[in-house]
Amino acid sequence: MEFEDFISATCNILEEDGFAAYLPTLYAGGEILVVEGIPSSVADTDALNNLGPDHGLGAPGTFFAVLASPNTVVAGQFASTGWQFVDIQQGDSGFVVTSAERPLWFRL
């Protein structure tokens, strides 16, 4: 799977379920993992930081997407040049995907 395919799939899920229902999602080892059962006291971004390394996140060719604010999903990929990030937000005529800086909450 390519990062662009992962972003496209993420946008499809957002279209169906909305931002509020989006769950942290990882792609590692050729598998997609949706992180469920996160306690309400734990932020989705913290869950990603805590669970990601256990599932290989940070190896080349791994991706993630997580709800970082009520209207923004941050997606990232690890490539040979390091981490690359994008923000996914609702636009006037669909989703807008823009390059982003490393989020302050991201610890991997």
Task: Assess contact for 75 and 7: CB atoms under 8 A.
Answer: yes
Q: Is the pLDDT of residue 80 over 90?
A: no
Both structure tokens of 58? 């940070």
Per-residue DSSP letter, 89: E
pTM reported for the whole predicted model: 0.93
Task: Tell me the residue range of the domain where 96 lies.
Answer: 3-100
Work out the mean pLDDT of the chain and round it to a whole number: 95
Q: Rounded distance, CA 28 to CA 48, Å?
A: 13
Residue 107 lies in a domain: no
Q: Which residue has the tokens 């060719």?
A: 61
Asked whether residue 22 is assigned to any structural domain, the reply reads yes
- What token pair was written down for 84? 């690359």
Mean pLDDT to the nearest integer, 77-84: 92
Question: What average pLDDT does the segment 17-42 reach?
Answer: 94
On whether residue 51 sits in a domain, the answer given is yes
Q: Can you tell me the distance from the alpha carbon of 29 to that of 88, in angstroms, rounded to the nearest whole number? A: 24
The yes-or-no verdict on residue 47 having pLDDT over 90 is yes
Structural domain includes residue 8 = yes
23 belongs to a structural domain: yes
Specify the number of domains making up the chain.
1
Alpha helices in the chain (DSSP H): 3-17, 44-51
